[in-house]
Amino acid sequence: MPKLSILIAEKSYLIRKGLVLILAEFPQVGNIVETDNEEAFISLVNKNNFQILFLNPSFIRSGKFHTTFEKIPSPRAPVLIGIISREDNKKSQIKFAETIGFDENKSHLLKKIENLILRSSGYQPEEEGTSELSEREKNILRHIALGFTNKEIGEKLYISAHTVITHRKNITRKLGIKSVSGLTVYAILNKIVGMDEIRL
């Protein structure tokens, strides 16, 4: 699962930093971008693909928000979280999927954010537990360690290069190892490939 990309649009440095600190503790969270002005915000939303957007609505002065935001095709649209109190939210024109307020207590707030992140990252409890490689993945890993390219592996195993790439991504995610030589070390340690079969 690719990591979540999050945008925080909030004028207050204090609140931004607090949110960043909390969010950064989740392994599912990748990139966190902060902005404190409306212009930058609009161009960020247009150019990037955020999955979660924390927004303080008082931040938006012009009517540009709606026009910008509504133009984003729906599968790409981020989940909108308001940084706003319950009271103010009733008056707000923007529909938030969830709000976080300044007066919430610690455990309540953290629970909300955790749920939000788990939902947005497509968390499936059964799947997450198994970081074990499948037999198929082991076989692909073996070929990676032997130095074959995606195309060659595809040809040998009768699958498309595209499928090989998907498997590789899964292997990297499961193991936490990105480079070919790192994967090779893993393969040797786990006797998926013999030391004498390869040259590092």
Partner 1 sequence: MIIRQDNKMADLIHMNYLLISVINRFGIDLGFRDKTVFEVCREHHIDVRFFLEIVNAFHDKDYFPDEDLQDFSIRLIVDYLAKTHRYYLDEKIPEIEQLIDEMVNTCFNQTDNLNMLQKFFKEYKEELAHHTKREDEVVFPYAIHVEKAFTRGKADPDLKNQMNGYSITDYINEHDNIEEKLFDLKNIIIKYLPPPKNRALCNKVLSELFNLEKDMNDHSRIEEKVLVPKVIVMEKQLRKQDN
For binding to partner 1 (CB under 8 A), which residues are involved?
34, 175-179, 181-182, 184-186, 188-190, 195, 200
Nearer to partner 1, 18 or 101 (CB): 18
- Minimum Å distance from CB 2 to partner 1? 16
Nearer to partner 1, 72 or 177 (CB): 177
In DSSP notation, 49-89 reads --SEEEE-GGG--STHHHHHHHHS-GGGPPEEEEES-HHHH
Report yes or no: 80 and 96 within 8 Å, Cβ to Cβ: yes
- Minimum Å distance from CB 60 to partner 1? 23
- Minimum Å distance from CB 74 to partner 1? 31
Nearer to partner 1, 146 or 175 (CB): 175
191 by DSSP, 3-state: which?
Answer: coil
In angstroms, rounded to a whole number, what is the distance separating the alpha carbons of residues 156 and 67?
Answer: 51
- Minimum Å distance from CB 127 to partner 1? 19
Q: Which residues, other chains included, contact 62 with Cβ-Cβ below 8 Å and sequence gap of 6+? A: 38
In angstroms, rounded to a whole number, what is the distance separating the alpha carbons of residues 71 and 139?
Answer: 44
- Minimum Å distance from CB 190 to partner 1? 7
Nearer to partner 1, 95 or 191 (CB): 191
Nearer to partner 1, 1 or 180 (CB): 180
40 by DSSP, 3-state: which?
Answer: helix
Nearer to partner 1, 10 or 69 (CB): 10
Report yes or no: 112 and 98 within 8 Å, Cβ to Cβ: yes
End-to-end CA distance of the chain: 29
The strands making up 79-83's β-sheet, listed across from edge to edge, are: 29-35, 4-9, 52-55, 79-83, 98-100
- Minimum Å distance from CB 181 to partner 1? 5
